[in-house]
Amino acid sequence: MSISALIVGTALLGIFALASLSLSNSALSASEVLEGSTEEPEIRLLNASESNGTIHLNLTNAGDEIISFDQTWFSIDGTLPIRASDYHNQSTVLFPGETLHMQLTGTGFTTPTRLFVASMGGQSGVSFS
């Protein structure tokens, strides 16, 4: 009976050692993934103006991350945010280094003073000129 207990005990120790090694490798892999996580995009509003109820703006991606218009929101004078993809459907993303002219029509604003943009943690704002 003592030999069988020794065999079972040794087997359990081996299983525990393998589980500990697997857990250690999983934790190492997870930390490597977290280190390589994406950063906040550097989205910048360059300028904004309004003409006959249409808001014109120039937006640039000054960072290294691709910016999705589905995850980009504008706020005019602090009102509820509006999704950029509702006003821009020529492309779905803004690539690093790209600058884009956008027009926001039908917002109801005729004399706005401030425009704010936020996307995936990045943000920028300008006063209307």
119: number of Cβ within 10 Å: 24
Residue 39's pLDDT band, with cuts at 50, 70 and 90, is confident
Residue 48: what pLDDT? 96
Dist CA 37 CA 52 (whole Å): 43
pLDDT tens string 76-113: 999 889 999 998 878 899 999 999 999 998 888 889 99
The whole model's pTM is what? Answer: 0.68
Residue 46: what pLDDT? 96
Q: Domain extents for the chain?
A: 1-37, 43-127
Tell which wins on pLDDT, 128 or 36: 128
Residue 30: what pLDDT? 67
Query: Quick one: average pLDDT of 32-36?
Result: 61
3-state secondary structure of 58: strand
Dist CA 45 CA 32 (whole Å): 33
Q: Which amino acid is located at 110 in the chain? A: T
For the 43-127 domain, the top CATH level (class) is mainly beta
